[in-house]
A and B are shown apart, each in its own frame.
Chain A
Amino acid sequence: MMDCKNLREILDLYVDGELSPEATVQAEAHLTECNACRRAADGLQGLRQAVKAAVSQYQPAPQLANRVRKSTLSPWYRRPTWALAVAAAALLIVTLAVSAPQFRGAVANSLEAAAFHLDDSRAVVMEGLLLCRDCELKKEYGYRAMCPLKGHHGTLQTKDGKIWNILDGDASEDLIHNSALLGRTVRIHGRCFRRASSIEVDSYEVL
Chain B
Amino acid sequence: MFFGQTPRGKHFERNALPHLPAVYRTARQLVGVESADDLVQETFLRAWKYFETFDPTTNCRAWLFRILRNVWISRWRKSRLELPLVDTGDEQIEPYYDWEGEFLREELSAGVERALSELPADYRLAILLADVEDCTYEEIARIMECPIGTVMSRLNRGRRMLARLMQVYRDAKPSKSQPREFARRKP
Contact = CB atoms under 8 A, between A and B. Distances in A.
Interface of A: 5, 8-9, 11-13, 16, 18, 36, 39-44, 46-56, 58-61, 64-65, 67-69, 71-75
Contact of A54 (B33, B112, B152, B163): B112
Most A-side CB within 10 Å, residue of B44, B152, B155? B44
Given A39-B99, A40-B100, A52 B132 contact: yes
Contacts of B37: 60-61, 64, 67
B68 interface: no
A43 B152 contact: no
Contact of A47 (B47, B104, B136): B104
Contacts of B41: 64, 67-68, 71
Contacts of A73: 2, 5, 9, 12-13, 48
B25 A74 contact: no
Nearest to A72: B48
B22 to A, nearest CB: 9
Interface stretch (B54-62, B69-77, B78-86, B123-131): B123-131
B101 A9 contact: no
Interface in B87-136: 93, 95-96, 98-101, 104, 108-109, 112-113, 116, 127-128, 130-132, 136
A59 B23 CA distance: 10
Contacts of B155: 12, 16
A5 B163 contact: no
B44 A71 contact: yes
10 contacts: A5-B95, A46-B104, A46-B108, A47-B108, A47-B159, A53-B109, A55-B113, A55-B116, A61-B37, A72-B44
A75 B112 contact: no
A49 B107 CA distance: 12
Nearest to A64: B37
Contacts of A5: 95
Contacts of B142: none
B156 interface: yes
Interface in B155-177: 155-156, 159, 162-163
Contacts of B21: 59-60
B94 to A, nearest CB: 9
Contact of B109 (A40, A41, A54): A54
Nearest to A37: B100
